[in-house]
Amino acid sequence: MTAHPPAPAAVVFDLDGVLLESEHLWEEFWTRYAARFSVTWTAADTGHVQGMSAQEWSAYLADRVGNVEDPASAERAVVDDMIGALEAGRMEPYDGAVTMVREVAARVPVGLATSATRRLIDAVMERHDLASSFRATVSSAEVPRGKPSPDVYLEAARRLGVEGSDCIGVEDSSNGIRAAHAAGMTVVAIPNPTYPPKPDAMELASRVADGVPAAHREILALLDGVRTGAGR
């Protein structure tokens, strides 16, 4: 008889592009900041910084505009804009995302591994009443390296008291998929249609889901040890 691998012990979600429709807002506010200094922010710039920690993208942004201000000022300006968008109702969960998190959290410990700053994480948790569902939330600003390095996922797993290899990681971006995979996680990819992951990153995903409801089904199937047509 073939032994089945043990069921995952925890699930770790990304935030932007997985639970919240917010990737376009980061691009909007990076663009706005650059425009203050008559610099045109491009799609290539967005692709370069997606997944970076705040320290990393703010350093890139400050350099991109000629170091007129320091990275901390660039970070503060963009995060202020993001929190303003959240408070204005422009940063809402995807349909089904809150239900997905709560149902998964009723089964196994749930964590968050995101490039968002702690200030923004806490504001999102409060506004969308998610804090009680997450046993651990980690910003890449709290670990040595941002995505695609596995640090933020490994730290989320550590705080949940499990190994990375015992977790499902849920991601939408190239660097996020790479980070979760490098942490040893079984990756469920929700490819972002506006910022699609690169083919080499997609090859690292164990399951591919077309949107949050499909990801919800894939996660539950993995927890139940059920094979689906979305596996690789």
Q: Do 124 and 80 belong to one domain?
A: no
Cβ neighbors of 158 (< 8 A, separation 6 or more) are none
Is residue 147 assigned to a domain? yes
State pLDDT tens for residues 73-100: 999 999 999 999 999 999 999 999 999 9
Q: Do 145 and 220 belong to one domain?
A: yes
Tell me which of 113 and 193 has the higher pLDDT.
Answer: 113
Q: Do 141 and 209 belong to one domain?
A: yes
Is residue 1 assigned to a domain? no
Q: Do 128 and 168 belong to one domain?
A: yes
Q: How many domains does the chain have?
A: 2
Q: Do 208 and 110 belong to one domain?
A: yes
Is residue 39 assigned to a domain? yes
Is residue 230 assigned to a domain? no
Q: Do 216 and 133 belong to one domain?
A: yes
Is residue 162 assigned to a domain? yes
pLDDT class for 228, splitting at 50, 70, 90?
A: low
pLDDT score of 41:
98
Q: Do 48 and 129 belong to one domain?
A: no
Question: Average pLDDT for residues 8-18, to the nearest whole number?
Answer: 96
Q: Do 141 and 215 belong to one domain?
A: yes
State pLDDT tens for residues 128-153: 999 999 999 999 999 999 999 999 99
Q: Write the CATH number for 167.
A: 3.40.50.1000
> Residue 191 belongs to what domain range?
10-22+92-224
Q: Is the pLDDT of residue 69 over 60?
A: yes
Q: Is the pLDDT of residue 4 over 80?
A: no
Write out the H or E segment, with its range, that includes residue 12.
strand 10-13
pLDDT score of 71:
96
pTM above 0.85, yes or no: yes
Question: Average pLDDT for residues 49-73, to the nearest whole number?
Answer: 93
Q: What stretches of 100-180 adopt beta strand conformation (E)?
A: 110-114, 136-139, 167-171
Q: Is the pLDDT of residue 110 over 60?
A: yes
Q: Which residue is associated with the tokens 């980070």? A: 179
Q: Do 77 and 180 belong to one domain?
A: no
Q: Do 218 and 161 belong to one domain?
A: yes
Q: Establish how many alpha carbons lie within 13 A of residue 141's alpha carbon, considering only the half-sphere containing its beta carbon.
A: 15
Q: Do 131 and 107 belong to one domain?
A: yes
Question: Which of 65, 87, 109 delimits the end of a domain?
Answer: 87
- Percent of the chain whose predicted confidence (pLDDT) is above 70: 95
Question: Which of 87, 118, 142 delimits the end of a domain?
Answer: 87
Inter-residue contact 172 to 188 (CB < 8 Å):
no
pLDDT class for 230, splitting at 50, 70, 90?
A: low
Is residue 199 assigned to a domain? yes
Q: CA-CA-CA-CA torsion for 197, 161, 131, 102, nearest 10 degrees?
A: 70
Q: Do 133 and 194 belong to one domain?
A: yes
Q: Is the pLDDT of residue 42 over 90?
A: yes
Q: Is the pLDDT of residue 5 over 70?
A: no
Tell me which of 227 and 6 has the higher pLDDT.
Answer: 6
Q: Is the pLDDT of residue 185 over 90?
A: yes
Question: Which of 87, 110, 136 delimits the end of a domain?
Answer: 87
pLDDT class for 1, splitting at 50, 70, 90?
A: very low
Q: Is the pLDDT of residue 50 over 90?
A: no
